[in-house]
Structure 1
Amino acid sequence: MMLLVNGVLLGAGLFSWVERRLIGRFHNRIGPNRWGPFGSLQPLADLVKLLFKEDLTPRGADRIVFAIVPVAMLAPVVLTMAVVPFAKDTALANLNVGVLYILAVTSITSIAIFMAGWSSDNRYAMWGASRGVAILISYEVPVVMSLLGVVLVAGSMSLDDVVSAQTVPFLLVQPLAFFVFFAGTSAELNRTPFDLAEAESEIIAGYHIEYSGVKFALIQAAEFGAVLTSSAVMVSLFLSGWSGPASNYLGWAWFLMKIGVLAFIFSWVRATFPRLRIDQLLAFAWKFLLPLSIINLFATALEVYFLRDGSGALDTTDLWIMAGVNFGVAFGCLLIFGTLIKEKVRPAGPVTGSTLSPVEAD
């Protein structure tokens, strides 16, 4: 377990440097380049700086809850990685309810965010926590619905069984589920464009505004580590996990490479899209992602019912048939829903006295 904790912390530090360099390039900047080759020692320099910062606790804060929050933020990241198979038979705990376990463990994050906002005795922190909890509750529903489709196709909730069932990557078999899961996970991670819980221009730093020193370092490690953990879960559920050529020997290499691709996409989205408004963000969950996940679940259930043989298994041909059908369903759904929820913008027109309020007219 200590090896897992150290691996998560090391991966979080490495990813923080890679993402800052990538976003610098996306923004036509250089990024960190002072400490070490290409700035590779910048995470270490930041850690040393935070270790020597004074660890302050607000006067009106609940000290016990305030101190628990950083550990509560980091715990789901480590506990989730415990059931993820990096290679064949390498999961620390091979649970037959691995998918359910991941959903349960990651729900701790919403509790930790609310604890941070409530215990800080700060209005900005409380507003950020309220936003974070609203986002997590809203996006948890479509995320769960999207995973039900994966479980139906695999016939098991064990991550090892899900990986073994992917003779065709579930990214192709379940494109709608992947889209919903990726968008929902981005929201739960407070990543741009869903980062309203930490909107600097509105509520400064959000729920962790009062944290400093080691506590702030742990929260940052949890946020960056959560991106890698979510990428690892998506690799296992949708990208065949450690499977690949010579996977008996190079399974871990394939797994890490796929994690790197997804982490790059997370950084790409962060550097590209603007932040959504709270009404747009919640509407996206309830009016777009949730209907898509329900449609995907019903389509998958019908396909599994008609294609599964007497032994209850789906062969490679069945998976390719499902992939073709589901891509057609996904294209039709995205086209229809994209048209329906498109925000109507009132065309500009001349400003007359009848369009002005009495105050504006004066």
Structure 2
Amino acid sequence: MTVLEAALRAVAALAAFLVLPLLVGQAEHKVMAHMQGRLGPMYAGGFHGWAQLVADGVKFLQKEDITPRAADRWVFRLAPGVALVPYLLALALLPVHPGVAAVDVPGSLVLLLAATSVGALGTLMAGWSSANKYSLIGGLRAAAQLVSYELPIVLAVASVALAGGSLSLVGLADAWSPWWLLWQLPGAVVFLVAAVAELQRPPFDMPVADAELVMGAWTEYTGLRFAFFLLAEYAGIVVMSVLFAVLWLGGWHGPLPDALGWLWTLVKGFVVALVVIWVRVAWPRLREDQLQRLAWLWLVPLGLFQVVLTGVGVVAGW
């Protein structure tokens, strides 16, 4: 790869990182509104409020950046970046078509999981450093949630890696077959539920529960730093949705011509993102004990069952 090609891929990944989360955020505003019998944003930008998130971004830029006097200043200021930057790396690793990824490494699946795990630590850093009891409780909840739901994600992804015989996302997408929709279905359910919890999205948003903790770990954040946390949430939805599309839905394999495979991958990812939005609307927030029980009594055993089933299938030559 030449320096120019590497630079173009980096620019493309950065552009996708800035655009795709905004599209998902706008879709959430409109889709969630219609699910609840509302209209959602209608005025910013004209047609159905398409520029609402742009207007929100301008508003955040104008707000004062405040650091509490008692806060651990460096940790407090670094936390939004720790929450946001790993998802940029994860997005750069995602292939939307063979050879169409900003970074293509042999163990891209392992690196992507490591990056998304680091991203969840930003909430913990924010809660610990804010010198606010609500933020601290939110940070501790985020730590418990990270420990509980990282294992189901790893088990579900390990099953797909075992079935495909590769740790490369491109290799796993190429090894996919429609039979996986049935064979890997338990792992797909485990991954989707655990991914929503990993992103701290409703009904698993206890670390930022506004009704209980003001805004949880984000309570003391203002301006652009607060916007970074919101952008990290939407970027996480994009990463998890496209990863689900690549591993369980075949990525670019479909009825569209090969030249449009990247579009087919993005369409699948957008459908998964709509499911994540629907879950927010349809389910009430769980209690902390219910969250832990779901992870350890249901998702972990189901993930282990999927790994055993895949191992038997690989040995039997299914």
> Which category describes the TM-score, using the shorter chain as reference length?
over 0.9
Within 5 Å, which residues of 2 pair with 1:55-134?
55-134=65-144
What code does the residue aligned with 1:33 have? M
Aligned with residue 206 of structure 1, among 211, 216, 224: 216
Aligned with residue 40 of structure 2, among 31, 37, 42: 31
**Partner residue, 1:324:** none
List per-residue Cα deviations over 1:14-70 (Å, max 9, x = no partner): 211110111111111111112121011101111111110111111111111111111
Q: Does the C-alpha gap of structure 1 residues 204 and 169 become closer, same or farther in structure 2, counting only changes over 3 Å?
A: farther
List per-residue Cα deviations over 1:80-101 (Å, max 9, x = no partner): 1111111121122222212211
Aligned with residue 48 of structure 1, among 55, 58, 83: 58
List per-residue Cα deviations over 1:137-162 (Å, max 9, x = no partner): 10111111111110111000100100
2:69, 2:60 → 1: CA distance?
Answer: 21
What code does the residue aligned with 2:302 have? L
Within 5 Å, which residues of 2 pair with 1:14-29?
14-29=23-38
Aligned with residue 161 of structure 1, among 161, 164, 171: 171
2:139, 2:179 → 1: CA distance?
Answer: 37
1:209, 1:247 → 2: CA distance?
Answer: 48
List per-residue Cα deviations over 1:184-231 (Å, max 9, x = no partner): 000000111111111111001011111111111111111111101110
Moved more, 153-162 or 142-151: 142-151
**Partner residue, 1:138:** 148
Aligned residues of 2:65 and 2:223 also touching (Cα < 8 A): yes
Q: Quote the offset at 1:257 in angstroms.
A: 0.7
The normalised TM-score by structure 2 is 0.94
**Partner residue, 1:305:** 315
Within 5 Å, which residues of 2 pair with 1:250-289?
250-289=260-299
**Partner residue, 1:193:** 203
Q: Quote the offset at 1:171 in angstroms.
A: 3.1
Q: Any gaps of 5 or more consecutive residues in structure 1?
A: 308-317, 319-362
- Is the radius of gyration larger for structure 1 or structure 2? 1
Aligned: 1:149 with 2:159: yes
Aligned residues of 1:116 and 1:125 also touching (Cα < 8 A): yes
2:257, 2:303 → 1: CA distance?
Answer: 32
Moved more, 6-15 or 284-293: 6-15
Aligned residues of 2:87 and 2:119 also touching (Cα < 8 A): no
Aligned length: 308
Moved more, 89-98 or 16-25: 89-98
**Partner residue, 2:193:** 183
Moved more, 121-130 or 11-20: 11-20
Q: Quote the offset at 1:168 in angstroms.
A: 2.2
CA RMSD of aligned residues (A): 1.2
Aligned to 1:228, the other structure's residue is in SS state: helix
1:146, 1:157 → 2: CA distance?
Answer: 13
What code does the residue aligned with 2:166 have? S
What code does the residue aligned with 1:168 have? P
What code does the residue aligned with 1:81 have? L
1:248, 1:34 → 2: CA distance?
Answer: 39
2:196, 2:32 → 1: CA distance?
Answer: 17
1:140, 1:251 → 2: CA distance?
Answer: 30
Aligned residues of 1:131 and 1:197 also touching (Cα < 8 A): yes
What code does the residue aligned with 1:303 have? G
Q: What's the % identity of the aligned pairs? A: 37
List per-residue Cα deviations over 1:283-334 (Å, max 9, x = no partner): 0000001111111111111111011xxxxxxxxxx3xxxxxxxxxxxxxxxx
**Partner residue, 1:13:** 22
Q: Quote the offset at 1:173 in angstroms.
A: 2.5
Q: Does the C-alpha gap of structure 1 residues 247 and 83 become closer, same or farther in structure 2, counting only changes over 3 Å?
A: farther
2:258, 2:76 → 1: CA distance?
Answer: 45
1:65, 1:278 → 2: CA distance?
Answer: 26
The normalised TM-score by structure 1 is 0.83
Aligned residues of 2:29 and 2:41 also touching (Cα < 8 A): yes
Aligned residues of 2:60 and 2:227 also touching (Cα < 8 A): yes
Q: Does the C-alpha gap of structure 1 residues 108 and 122 become closer, same or farther in structure 2, counting only changes over 3 Å?
A: same
